Amino acid sequence: MSTPVLEVSGLAFAYPDGHQALFGVDLHVHPGERVALLGPNGAGKTTLVLHLNGILGLDDANAAGSVRVSGLPVERANLAEVRRRVGVVFQDPDDQLFMGTVRADVAFGPANLGVKGAALDRRVEHALEQVGMAEFADRPPHHLSFGQRRRVAVATVLAMEPEILVLDEPSSNLDPASRRELADVLRSLDVTVLMVTHDLPYALELCPRAVVLSQGQVVADDATIEILTDDSLMAAHRLELPWGFDPRTAAALGAGTRPLGGARG
Ligand SMILES: Nc1ncnc2c1ncn2[C@@H]1O[C@H](COP(=O)(O)OP(=O)(O)OP(=O)(O)O)[C@@H](O)[C@H]1O
């Protein structure tokens, strides 16, 4: 079997106030997988994500266990390379867009890695094409819609050529068309994806596999359709489907292989 892109082993973490947020989390993600990370508010999803690129857990007396990215341990000595390999798209695109133009924002990360000239231009162009935003390259990010800014935020991360794309609530605050457009983009990418979401139809649509985190522990790791149709698991961990949404029907209609709902030409 291939080396996992992401290998979380026995990860435990308490915040400085003593609150234990993670209790021995194990999670392996293999190249090319798209995995949804589900769980109720306060389950520890963000805390886990913040360990994947060393924002939390480095030199921390309250942390135990390990995270490896394609075999490379997440530790201070490897931080620059870990952050190139793990691209995190935060919930608020404005946390990631701060330059005068879309192009400058997308160029920022690779330029910091020393990419320049025509190679940098190609990276930026390719990343913007991947998210369908090439024609907006010279616009100021703050002139774009929220959905467009989220796609540019994804491009800033893709321009780093990450091994795993980690998305925190990618569908939040998107209108149905923008939500579908982003789904189309994510489905078209040739990259491993870990997606934190409360949007269970989106998880079903995009991620064949889902992991449920609850009270700092992995309580389920299975095909997304199995998880969404396990009524007792869903109720025990405060996971609720939108009213009227039937995952079996959605799966039969091709969730995971094509978008649900949205009209397509
Ligand atoms: N800086 C902090 N200091 C102390 N406790 C924290 C801190 N940040 C988060 N927590 C606690 O850690 C636990 C896990 O929080 P986390 O934000 O990781 O959950 P989550 O699954 O991402 O939740 P949500 O779905 O609401 O975003 C919660 O009980 C939260 O209150």
How far, in Å, from the CA of 43 to the mean position of ligand 1? 7
Query: pLDDT tens digit string along 201-249?
Result: 999 999 999 999 999 999 999 999 999 999 999 999 999 999 999 999 9
**Is the whole-model pTM more than 0.95?**
no
Alpha-carbon span 158 to 147, nearest angstrom: 17
Question: Hey, whose CA ends up nearest to atom 31 of ligand 1?
Answer: 42
Give the model's confidence band at 1: pLDDT under 50 very low, under 70 low, under 90 confident, else very high.
Answer: low
- Report the chain's mean pLDDT, rounded to a whole number: 92
Residue 63's pLDDT is: 81
The neighbouring-strand residues paired with 73 are 68
Angstrom distance (rounded) from CA 135 to CA 255: 30
pLDDT tens sequence across 199-212: 999 999 999 999 99
Q: Is the CB of 98 under 6 A from ligand 1?
A: no
CA distance 143 to 138: 11
Q: Which residues contact 28 (CB under 8 A, 6 or more apart)?
A: 4, 6, 7, 8
Cβ(39) – ligand 1 distance below 6 Å: yes
What are the Cα distances from residue 171, in Å, to 142, 160, 177, 181, 247?
A: 19, 22, 11, 10, 18
State ipTM: 0.98
111-151 residue pLDDT tens: 999 999 999 999 999 999 999 999 999 999 999 999 999 99
Atom of ligand 1 nearest to the CA of 39: 21
In this predicted model, what pLDDT tens digit does every residue of 42-75 receive, in sequence order? 999 999 999 999 999 887 778 899 999 999 999 9
The whole-number average pLDDT for the span 9-30 is 95
Please write the tens of the pLDDT for every residue from 165-200: 999 999 999 999 999 999 999 999 999 999 999 999
pLDDT of residue 263: 36
Residue 35, classified by CB atoms within 10 Å of its CB into exposed (0-12), middle (13-18) or buried (19+), is buried
pLDDT at 262: 39
> Does ligand 1 lie within 6 Å of residue 43's CB atom?
yes
Go through 187-208 and write b for each residue having 16 or more CB atoms within 10 A of its CB, e for each that does not: eeeebbbbbbbbbbbbbbbbbb
Q: Which of 45, 56, 167, 194 to mutate to test the pocket of ligand 1 (most atoms within 8 A of CB)?
A: 45
Under DSSP, is residue 199 helix (H, G, I), strand (E, B) or coil?
coil
Name the residue type at position 29: V
> What pLDDT does 10 receive?
96
pLDDT at res. 261: 41
pLDDT of residue 255: 67
Instruction: Please state the atom number of ligand 1 nearest to the C-alpha of residue 48.
Output: 18
Residue 5: partners with Cβ closer than 8 Å, 6 or more residues away: 29, 30, 31, 33, 69, 70, 163, 164, 192
Pocket test for ligand 1, best of 46, 171, 218 (most atoms within 8 A of CB): 46
CA of 41 to the centre of ligand 1 (A): 8
Rounded to whole angstroms, how far apart are CA atoms 141 and 139? 6
